[in-house]
Structure 1
Amino acid sequence: MTDEIAPISSERTPEEKTPLTLLLLDDEQDILNALKRLLRKDYTIITFNEGHEALAYLKENRVDMIMSDMRMPEMDGAEFLEQSRDIIPNAVRLLLTGYSDMSSTIKAINDGGVYTYISKPWDNQELKLTLAKAADHYLLKKETKRLNEQITKANKELAEFNQSLELKVNQRTEALQASQQKLNNAFNTQKSLLHDVLDMMSATIEYRTGFSAGHSKRIAIQCKTLAKFIKLDDANCQRIYFCALLHEIGTVGLTDEVLQASTLGAGKLDDALVNHPVIGAKIVGKVKRFAPLIENILHQNENIDGTGFPGHLSGENIPIGARIIRVVKDFDFLIAGKANKNKMSIPNAYAWMKERSGVWYDRHILQAFIDLLGKRESDENEMEFSIGLEALKPGDTLLEDLVLHNGNVMLKAGQEINSTMVEKLKEYEETYNTKVTLFIA
């Protein structure tokens, strides 16, 4: 037989206005009546005296919690809970049992997925507290499932959004294909949605600016490694990595004419390009989770003597991450910048930046960066060291293609350098009166 009590109002969370449904099974009607009186204000109560009837009900109706007595004539509580688990696996199951039933209780816990057991005779307050904890456990599992479904939906929507962007592009360039592949790989391997979004934004910057794939990642890794080298804590190192990865996000707000006509880097910023850190900070600021990145992106073009942009900050008033990004990105521009028609050798770049130490650059950070590249030692697996031929050794492995001034690829990423290659590179430098920069592990 069944005995159903209509739902009444509850003080649960806004998402759970309706009381949870609790099915009670006991062959003694007096016990069922006592439990109903005790629990009816907190739960919607369904009662049964016989296990087969209760199982038949479960096949047609949803319940949230199930509490059964252990000792019953036709079907004991262990068997009932085990069968109920097959019908409604997500329900929370509890067992009423005496101390003499412990072996059966253990079986019920193992086979029936019992959340906990309650000893007879029970204390009313302890019983209510145990059920409240079980209800919280059930709601937590339910909320976790909902959040997982929400994340899955968000990932699907993000993938669909990227696909729609691709459809709007008139022609697929090689750079866009590489960026899209990078994104596809990231979606398959990244465990965090945050990293997926950051990779997407980095690829967007590379596509917008025309920089080679990996340009932003290389600067970000060098910034993170430099931050570790000067003993910043892990949280700061990770934050600086994210800032460096997105330090050029403001370029998406610049016109095509500005990007084509202007030179980016090494202090040669016209009025339009001065604004790209401001634009970038505004873009990043729209994502609440990225708020800690704003200051480092905004102040990346400040000079240590206070003559930079946009805030004319000086010295340690400039965020440490912004000072690190300024050193690393300017060095990269001097030796390998796509828009730099007068690329320098690494020693000349060091000398040029040292002349501006204390004026544009933080002395300590600049010297630490030079020391880091000179030692060529790091516990950062992805670290790329920028070196010239004077530091190149047989056995070194290229991390990026070596592209000649005419656009031809002389050496492919992944190649291991041998002595013959070194000699050919030296001949190339002498013949064309130029300097070669390589990126190695």
Structure 2
Amino acid sequence: MGRFSAGPQPPGAPWGAPARGASAASHTRPSLCPDELRWAPVQGESAGPPAPAALGALPIALAFPSVLGSFNGALSTVPVHDLGSTVIREVLKRANVDPKEVSEVIFGHVLTAGCGQNPVRQASVGAGIPYSVPAWSCQMICGSGLKAVCLAAQAIGVGDSRIVVAGGMENMSKAPHLVRLRTGVRLGEAALTDSILCDGLTDAFHNYHMGITAENVAKKWQVSREDQDRLAALSQDRTEKAQKAGHFDKEIVPVFVSSRKGVTEVKTDEFPRPGSTLEAMSKLKPYFLTDGTGTVTPANASGINDGAAAVVLMKKSEAENRGLTPLAHIVSWSQAGVEPSIMGTGPIPAIKQAVAKAGWSLEDVDIFEINEAFAAVSVAIVKELGLNPEKVNTEGGAIALGHPLGASGCRILVTLLHTMERKGCQRGVAALCIGGGMGIAMCVQRG
């Protein structure tokens, strides 16, 4: 099993940019669960869950599948709830959990327009989970998939749930254009609104695209065009090597897509561009600022993608009774807010707070998975936190793999867990920036 890739793709529009014949990636990945949550209050941070002593036995990560595809690519015709059902069904199978035993399903999902009533409930039922089990979505833009895992851990920790399926899903290819006709059009034309841009990729406070926020970060943190292209080329190279080495195989859940020609199995990533070079990237023109000051291009930004991810969480005692070996446990998580115009820096305070809650230092962390919404953002975060670049996104990031909004948080977690397992790492951090000026981070530990 592996991620979606129908082969090399032409350069696509940057993350959230109006597509210019761009290809993007579809993701359907599952993620992780906690065993121990150490919660120490941090000044100025939003309230977190009570201390572990009050929570008792806490959740453990058990299993996690995933699938990936491109914008208007192989997964474009698959309803988002079917992508969700695919990973939910597989993650339960891997964890050997009967659908009837699930307490609730919590998924991140951002672009819900036109998807029908409660798409996560549709995904849950489609995966064979009975009507008696509640299912619901959370919306925190790019952080939704990881926030869903946090919410699941809280539900189990306080005793509201016993077994929870958490994750995220998104089909950006099927996101509709909208027209306001509630009271009719008395004169002139009715404009169409792209729901991807309106609901996912345009800052509500400054009314400009996420790409402009990346330009703001590049300017404030003095991240050059060359720095961005170099990181983007490294991301593509790392992903290409990881694919060839079969590192993603355990993460992938194939998706079967029906068409006039029959059923096709999609099991390889579509979005990565093997053979990408710094020289080729340097020839692309800036996409968002065209006045000669721009640095963000289609090559050094993530894409518009489809996909899903899921994980099973349960109490430690529950896992022990089932004879399940925990994959990892959540030590802490944190969320933070920043000025929306530099939203990409949200992971900086979020990571600091999560690591502090865990009782770690940044040097204690073996590996980081930090979402590559834009190369400018990734470079700034590494620079500001003083991280070793060799510890960050070692298998490549969203610039190569893609960024399906509601699913990315869980996808990041899945990749982190598998990488930790393969490399024998003990401590890891997953983090994402969030549109509107926020960040979310989670500390996990194996053993």
Same fold (TM over 0.5): no
TM-score relative to the length of structure 2 = 0.24
Which structure has the highest helix share of the two?
1
Which one has the bigger strand percentage?
A: 2
Task: Please identify the structure whose Cα radius of gyration is greater.
Answer: 1
User: What is the TM-score normalised by the length of structure 1?
Assistant: 0.24
- Quick one: higher RCO (CA 8 Å, sep 6+), 1 or 2? 2
